[in-house]
Homo-oligomer: A and B are copies of this chain.
Amino acid sequence: MANYTFEDFTPGRRFAFKERTLTAAEIVAFAREFDPQPMHLDEEAGRASILGGLAASGWHTSAIMMRMLYEAYIDGSTSEGSPGVDLMEWKRPVLAGDTLGGYCEVVEARASRSRPEIGIVRLRADVTNQRGETVAICEYINMMRVAEKEADHAHG
């Protein structure tokens, strides 16, 4: 854990994702619960679809990206969560056996007008596969507390 605060988020800074290989069992388990379309449940149905194989739900790819963001910079940080996402693109199929990685990059960082203890950070995540192809892009906001208020917060 790096215990990042708002001040660490300078435009252009990148945080690398830890690589992770996705199994068929994980794809099917997520799909059964949240997105039980045939191409997410069955290898043959996946091959018959435009996805070309047993393919993760886009929302599964997004959830895995969330875990990668957590490990890359959120864990131990002053994150106060996100109001949402401006863009989530699923650009290529994520198939069983694919190894995902990539990074997120700070696009913009500014103080909050209404809450001086908070900074508003815009980031862009690029999720890639083992061939270096981008499979997903996400642009989102992360609210982070500023460092100088941390002492107050701890006492409060």
Footprint of B on A, CB under 8 Å?
A: 30, 33-37, 39, 49-51, 57-60, 62-64, 66-67, 70, 74-75, 79-91
Contact = CB atoms under 8 A, between A and B. Distances in A.
Main secondary structure of the interface of A (DSSP, over half): mixed
A82 B90 contact: yes
Contact of A87 (B50, B81, B84): B84
Nearest to A90: B84
17 contacts: A30-B63, A35-B63, A35-B70, A36-B70, A39-B81, A49-B80, A50-B81, A59-B63, A60-B63, A63-B63, A82-B90, A83-B89, A83-B90, A83-B91, A84-B87, A85-B85, A85-B88
